[in-house]
Amino acid sequence: MNRRELLRNSLLAMGVVAINPHAGARIFPAGEDAFLELEKPDWTPVFLNQQQNETLIVLSDAIIPATDTPGAKAALVNRFLDLVISAQPATVQKEFLDSLAWFDAAATERSKTTFDKLTAEERTDLLNLVAWPHSRSSWGQTEAAYPGYQHFIRLKLWIASAYYSSPIGLKEQGWDGWAARGTFTGCEHQPSEHKDAK
């Protein structure tokens, strides 16, 4: 084998190819972290207006509050949702905004103010009304599903998705800053120990 063949074979063995080595590969740069954009002090919404943003902050923190662990506000749920909803189809954007508007309208109807300005007690009262499915009817009228539930579920789904995919939300699920690892141990009981499981 001459020098040229040796070099060529060595390159081929390393995966170097005859045409267009690694052309177009999409590689995430080390340290690239989209969350850093959300943490910027000069962050401003790209999709929501100021009122919608305030309503979303308060609603998300009411659904997932700070307890012994941080809540949705600290997880910047509103900032991520502002970004992700801005990239959704128009129908999804409209549904999202309609649901936010419903909460402000319901707060105004009940307490003459927008949702973000309700007292904690008023917020809890309103959320208790919409957080479970129920219907409403009056004498002589056909029973109808209470519309607030659909708006609540729609926004809760977005808020929970944003929260539990944030750094704070991952920690809530046991993220220690590193990827999952180890050996999966599975069931460590003796055979037939599950016979009473039914």
Partner 1 sequence: MFFEDPLTRTYDAIVVGSGATGGWAAKQLAEAGLQVALLEAGRNVSPREFTEHKPVFELKYRDMSGAGDWRKRRPVQIQCYACTEYNYDWFVDDVENPYSTPAGKPFTWQRMRIVGGRTLCWGRQSYRLSDLDFRAASFDGYGQDWPISYKDMAPFYDRVEEYVGISGAAEGNDALPDGHFLPPMKMTCGEVHFRETVAKAFGRTITIGRTAILTDTHNGRSACHYCGTCERGCISFSYFSSPFTTVKDALKTGKCTLLTNAIAAQIEMDPATNLAKGVTFVDGTTKQTKTIRGKTVILCAQALESTRILLNSTSGSHTAGLGNSSGLLGKGLMDHATGAGAGGDLPQFKDAPDAYSAPHRANGIYIIRYRNTSKATRQPNFIRGYGFQGGAGAEFDFEAEGFGAAYKQAVKAGKYRIEVGGFAESLARDDNFISIDPTLKDAWGIPALHISMTHGDNEQALINDAAATGAEMLEAAGATNIRISSKVAEPGMAIHELGTARMGNDPKTSVTDQYCQLHDVKNIFAMDGACFVSSGCQNPTLTMMAITVRACDQLIARFKKHEI
Task: Specify the 3-state DSSP secondary structure of 40.
Answer: coil
Q: Which residue's CB is nearer to partner 1, number 34 or number 139? A: 34
The nearest distance, CB 118 to partner 1, in angstroms, is 14
Q: Which residue's CB is nearer to partner 1, number 138 or number 189? A: 189
The nearest distance, CB 185 to partner 1, in angstroms, is 6
Q: What is the C-alpha separation between 44 and 46, in angstroms, rounded?
A: 6
Task: Specify the 3-state DSSP secondary structure of 63.
Answer: helix
Q: Which residue's CB is nearer to partner 1, number 28 or number 139? A: 28
Please say whether the beta carbons of 56 and 81 come within 8 A: yes
The owner of tokens 């069931």 is 187
Q: Which residue's CB is nearer to partner 1, number 76 or number 139? A: 76
Task: Specify the 3-state DSSP secondary structure of 33.
Answer: coil
Both structure tokens of 17: 């190819």
Those residues with Cβ within 8 angstroms of residue 111's Cβ, 6 or more apart along the chain or in another chain: 118, 122
The nearest distance, CB 53 to partner 1, in angstroms, is 18
The residues facing 87 across adjacent strands are: none
Both structure tokens of 106: 């319901």
Q: Which residue's CB is nearer to partner 1, number 53 or number 64? A: 64
The nearest distance, CB 168 to partner 1, in angstroms, is 9
The nearest distance, CB 158 to partner 1, in angstroms, is 9
- Please, what is the Cα angle at 87 between 55 and 79, to 5 degrees? 35
